[in-house]
A and B are shown apart, each in its own frame.
Chain A
Amino acid sequence: MTDVAVQPAPVRRTPYLARWAATPFHIGCAALIAAYLVAFLIVPVASVVFVAFWDGSGFTLVNFADFFRTSIMIESAWNSIYVGLMTVALASAIAVPLAYFTVRFRFRGAAIIQTLGVVPLVMPPFVGAVAMQLVFGKNGSINLLLMDAFGFRIPFMDGLNGVIFVEALHYFPFILLNLSASLANIDSAMEESAQNLGASGWRLFSRIVFPLALPGYVAGAALVFAKVFDDLATPLLLNVTNMLAPQAYLRVTSVGIADPMGYVISTILVVLSVMAVWLSLLALKNREFATQQRGGGGLSKREISRGERIAAYGFILAALFLALSPHIGILLLSVGTIWSFSVLPDGFTLAHYTTIFREAGGFMSNTILYCAIAALIDVVLGAMIAYLAMRTRLPGRHLLDQIAMAAVAVPGLVLGIGILRTYFPVDLPFGAGSLATFWLMLAIAYSVRRLPYALRSCSAALQQLHQSLEEAAENLGASKSTTLMRIVVPLMAGGILAGFVTSFATAAVELSATLLLVTRDANAPLSYGIYVYMQSPAGRGPGAALGVVAVVVVAIATWLSFRVAERDRAKRTRSGMAI
């Protein structure tokens, strides 16, 4: 209306809490989460970076100058970069054709390819590394067969090659999954409109399909690079020490916790890891932009000819064999008597399993205890952060979310060194030793490392929960806390459970931080046990048996979390509402 306002409208200050849509309880939760993240993520990582630039009295670049003057460091840096890039290249050679097959062709192999996607989740590379020596090493099964048949060997596992090979086989699914998702999200109308305008074949691929799929590829490749860069245990088990992560570990464990070189390397690891993760996120952000049209349905699929089918199946089976070879390898190793200079073990036995059930029960119960605590912390923090970020307007809520997610870019090794540095001087009461090596610290380190997984799961669950479901409850007289208990938590339960299982499963196979924080075998978890067993030839059998146990546990957990997530999604989509 155009009537002239005679008096100014009555101004009423909205109370702060109302404007933030937060209660004192919310603010308390936010403070608690912030304290936890500061104590166990920010301070440890910051202390690592701080020491790298500290000469005892002030800022210095001397430590970095030392780094660049030491030939072993320069060599390690180049080796790490080389291994990272070559792993991405080899992983791409496996993953790109597989992704293309699944989205472009209609055939049954697609299901197998999807299954491959979980390989890196179920078994970390270090578990299979030793077994891979026996399958692909100089005197391993494959080379012995090659030598017999053709008279030559392929140096799959020599030096850096071994690291590249093992890492690529474990991590190619990251590229496969991201790239297939990207390809599947391309609106078929985009391809069809290009065809309608006269584009086909190479031009269609290079101008339309490739640019739209590129972000997914970059995201996956950057993740692979970051993972390989951070991996400590695989090079160590393959006796490769001239890379950055093993160097940092060796400096800290042999020269001592005061040696600055370990911190310099850690700082470099953090910077590179953050850059890789940032690149990956950036690429994914663009992907959303590129495929924001809804109901794309992916590229048009076509039937393949007989010849193509044979070639595709051949490739898929080869990839499947390669991807499963570490698993087959440790399985054979775990039931073999002696396996040396032969294609298969000399004989088979279950003795290794009886050994581990006699000796290694402590590892298993420790893993279950630590990982359950870590996963519990993760889902509680994850659900709270997700709720604060999405349902309140509390200042700093997004910062909280971002810091928690940033843990994904912190290498386990760096977190381990940081926790040692920060909490080693803190003594527990009653002579229980240092806080840094107290067993609970392992659970805490795991929880910080895996918080992003649980947080993502909780956020996704809350995002799918349309806010009107909560508003309807409030409208009918339910307070914020009643709404939380009766509406939000029951509807998020699937996501929370999936987050718990994912955190649990991935924490069970974490080794980098573990290696630094475990001081006594009695406190050690399963992953540490595998590592220790695998180091001696006599321990390989039991180590492999432990590995098999770990894989089975993690596989069951992963399968469960997929089931939960699937059922949850099915429940929602059946509702046919915009919820």
Chain B
Amino acid sequence: MSGVEIERVSFGYGGAPILDDVSLNVAKGEFFAFLGPSGSGKTTLLRLVAGFGMPSSGTIRVGARDVTLVPPWKRNVGMVFQSYALWPHMTVEANVAFGLEQRGLPRAEIGGKVRRGLELVGLSQLAERRPAQLSGGQQQRVALARTLVVEPEVLLLDEPLSNLDAKLRVEMRHEISALQRKLGLTTIYVTHDQEEANSVADRIAVLDGGRIQQVGTPVELYDRPANRFVATFLGTANILEGHVTGRQFQSGGISIPDIDRADGPAAMAFRPQDAQIAPPDGPGFGGTIARREFLGGTIRYSIAAGTHMIVVDVPHHRNASALEIGTPVSVMIEPARFVTLAG
């Protein structure tokens, strides 16, 4: 088992690069996620780690070994494909045994490992079946077993849950997470679903437009987004762009005092649940309720304030009364809840 080092990797010949000068370190035993919208380059980066495609520049190391020019079949990084890629002409058992046969293991040993691999994912009874006879979740498990039995140095999962229905997705995500902890395997997980990434990953790299936007733990990314993209991609955020003059932040008719920042242009962000609604003329800035959405646990108000539309979540409980549209209010945020965005 090893970590993965990605050093200044770019990818794409001619035209706009698909990956642009990406550097990352995945620690040994870490559960790491690449998170980004489609077209962000996350799958491309994962495929480069597996050896499908060569970076136009940069280096990829698995453990201490430079694998940049090593073909996929000599890398020993296990990949689970989005489509599972189970071979329809082989039984479940033959699928799982394939990688072990390629490694030239004796027959008896292969049998034992295949059995244990299928036990690990709870599919021992289905060894003789063909992939076409399995459900989506079972196919997913076979794909996982097929990759795990070869004991790869790194496990790569490419949107592994995207072909499953919502309920199964949550189940499998817990299962994958438990399996990873049990095996202590360095894992990279690609997804476009922030909830999925938050729930399984130790750390996340957020990608957009072929570049890494931010790397951090789920909580760090949520609480301290580095830029506008990260702030809005992970959850909802109010972003105010304006100027600081003498500890006073001004933006589109909103004025916020006590900002601990040098004079100049600034972008400030806060989460809907970090603001409070108070009666008009209270502390904070004034506005008018423009829209109200009932979300179950919370009520989400859109408040017209200056030229901005500010979103504020208020916890809902039984018999709580809601504010009517058109009600004048004031919006209050503790200075500590603000995040200053870069760029």
A interface residues (Cβ-Cβ under 8 A, vs B): 1-2, 5, 9-12, 14-15, 18-19, 466, 468-469, 471-479, 482, 486-487, 490-491, 571-572, 574-579
Contacts and interface: CB of A to CB of B under 8 A. Distances in A.
Contacts of B81: 468, 471-472
B211 interface: yes
A474 B58 contact: no
B52 A477 contact: no
A477 B83 contact: no
Contacts, number: 118
Contacts of B57: 9-12
Contacts of B132: 571, 574-577
Nearest to A1: B212
A466 B83 contact: yes
Nearest to A570: B132
Contacts of A478: 73, 98, 102
Given A471-B81, A475-B50, A577-B84, 19 more contacts: A1-B213, A2-B342, A2-B343, A5-B21, A9-B8, A9-B58, A12-B58, A466-B83, A468-B83, A469-B87, A472-B81, A472-B87, A472-B143, A474-B71, A476-B78, A479-B73, A575-B131, A576-B132, A577-B83
A471 to B, nearest CB: 6
22 contacts: A1-B213, A9-B10, A10-B59, A12-B57, A14-B54, A468-B83, A471-B52, A472-B86, A474-B72, A475-B78, A475-B79, A476-B73, A476-B147, A477-B99, A477-B103, A478-B102, A490-B89, A575-B88, A576-B132, A577-B84, A579-B83, A579-B88
B56 interface: yes
B277 interface: no
Q: Give the interface size bracket for B toward A.
A: 35 or more
Nearest to B215: A1
B69 interface: yes
Given A18-B69, A468-B82, A476 B150 contact: yes
B177 to A, nearest CB: 22
Interface in B40-61: 50-52, 54-59
Contact of A9 (B21, B54, B343): B21
Contact of A577 (B72, B131, B212): B131
A476 B146 CA distance: 8
A477 B58 contact: no
Interface string B196-216: 000000000000000111100
B72 A471 contact: yes
B277 to A, nearest CB: 35
B91 interface: no
A328 B333 CA distance: 91
B139 interface: yes
Nearest to A577: B83
B191 interface: no
B178 interface: no
